[in-house]
Structure 1
Amino acid sequence: MEEMSGIRKAALLLISLGAETSAEILRHLPDGMIQKVSYEIANIDFVNPTDRETILDEFIEMSQARQYVIDGGVDYAREVLNRALGAQRAKEVIDMLTQIQLRERPFNIARKADPMQLKNLLLNEQPQTVALILCYMQPDKAALILAQFPLELQTEIAERIGTITRTSPKVIEKIEKVIENKFSSYVENETETVGGVNTLVEILNSVGRGTEKNILHALDDRHPDLADEVRANLFTFEDITTLQNADVQKVLRLVDNDDLMLALKGVADDIRNYIFSNMSQRAVETMKEDMQFMGPARLSAVEESQQKIVGVIRTLDESGEIYLRRGEQDAVIS
């Protein structure tokens, strides 16, 4: 399902919703999209019941997530979805929604352009045009570009950004076409920045512990500098002792007790004791009793539970609810 194109998903969804509802939806789509979806529908002979259910579930989740973002922003949406779907699925839904929103927004070509090339081209544009484009760009990239302008232009552009409230879609479309034609020779249409240490860390934080260890051991021999950099940014279950007590307690509130008991099987006493120190005495006593009756557990099951807890920690870190110390990052000032 993850590899299925958006057009095919849309076609399956419309088939699942029935002819009357689908016709009403298609009426509101652009002509080009209607043609693509209609062609896909015509080439689907049978909808697997499992695919149908998955598509409908994903559509409902995305619709709810979009509404949560409108109601309270991304952090609010993530918090609600965490409770409803679990940390991992919530992250997947938010990531999909973010990508969809980015594709839907105007000036997509500008968001992909190299910041310095973009700055050189925008220097010759009117301040109101620059302001409009920056409004639709990633904040960090917009900040980098704005800082390259002369001070008097920075102020004028900033003022226009702060006072823009509404802009006609036709005006946006007209400017976008001009900008796309102007930028087309500067943007690397065939390549995008991918990979790197951060991407590797994100992947390793999602694989099993055994795979993670094997890759890092191999990197020690092949590329020791890369291995060191990855370790400096990689959060493992054992690193839970580096969290503040309040942060550990936030994590424990979102962790299933069965996963916690499995995750603690075979870990060092200092790790187990640190986690227990952030639980009530009654909860600790109950867990210790339950663990005595658990019996042996498969290593893969233990590692899977540990990875689930690491996933919760990473989700809370990404939403800014807890803080992970990584590598040479600055200390937090309270």
Structure 2
Amino acid sequence: MLNKKTNLTGRQKAAVFLIAVGSEVSSEIFKHLREDEIEQITFEIARLDKITPEDKEKVLVEFNELMMAQEFISNGGIDFARGLLEKALGNQKAIDIINRLTSSLQVRPFDFIRRTDPQHLLNFIQNEHPQTIALILSYLDPQKASNILSNLPHTIQAEVAKRIATMDRVSPDVLREVERVLERKLSTLASEDYTSAGGIDSVVEILNLVDRGTEKTIIEALEEEDPELAEEIKKRMFVFEDIVLLDDRAIQKVMREVDNSDLAKALKSVDTEVQEKIFKNMSKRAANLLREDMDFMGPIRIKDVEDAQQKIVNIIRKLEDAGEIVVARAGEDELVM
């Protein structure tokens, strides 16, 4: 009797199955797969070295069992399929097959929609037929589905709810066709109309590249209009790791303002390049003492590290505002000494 399991992955099993059924049948199967699926399985076929007769038989038996279960489910649902499989193969075997099949089916219908931004999804489906909307919502988790239903036009909310309530089994072929059409439409819309833009990270990236005068003018104006936003932007503009951009003289000036305990904490989680930049701008004795402090304090909370780093960043910003140090930025003229 064959072992129930093989060490093959799902894609490897698909490759073994296609080899076993021959090129003619395989080419027909490929007509029903997406290009990326064909590419992945072809890659696995190319990678397969030798297939043992035992592995081939296991894959074919598993395929036959899953097809049998799929047909039973389509005809009468999970419970009906489980009952027939128990009679044919025994209780434990039936449970194994149903679990395997349902777990693979759970990620299939409208998986691309579950990964879509809710607002994007709402804009996309609200002009679809109520039956299509009902079908989509029935495959989303209840929280996401309820949010979308609440934001649909009032004129169709009740109709969609009614269609969800009265929906019966849906043919896998119909599901696949609806899914294929919707995925194509959604990907077209996404590429044309829904490119992400803006946000704090975007403005930080821009401000980090402008000259200091322009940056200062913009930040001061934002501080007047929206102090919280201005503060959030300032926090992100110069991160602690950017200290490597300072020249040695600037780092030495910063070090004179920094508490040793804060410096030890701030250096705990950074890479070697940042640590060495600091150490080389200290005396050998001071650098050794700092290393000892870092070792002695042991593990510390991430929040404590970030707070210490922020204190040092604030000192750097204060010294820059006072004109005592220069933070290199793109777009500014280099100094000629």
TM-score (norm 2): 0.43
User: Of the two, which has the highest radius of gyration?
Assistant: 2
Higher RCO, 1 vs 2 (CA within 8 Å, ≥6 residues apart): 1
TM-score (norm 1): 0.43
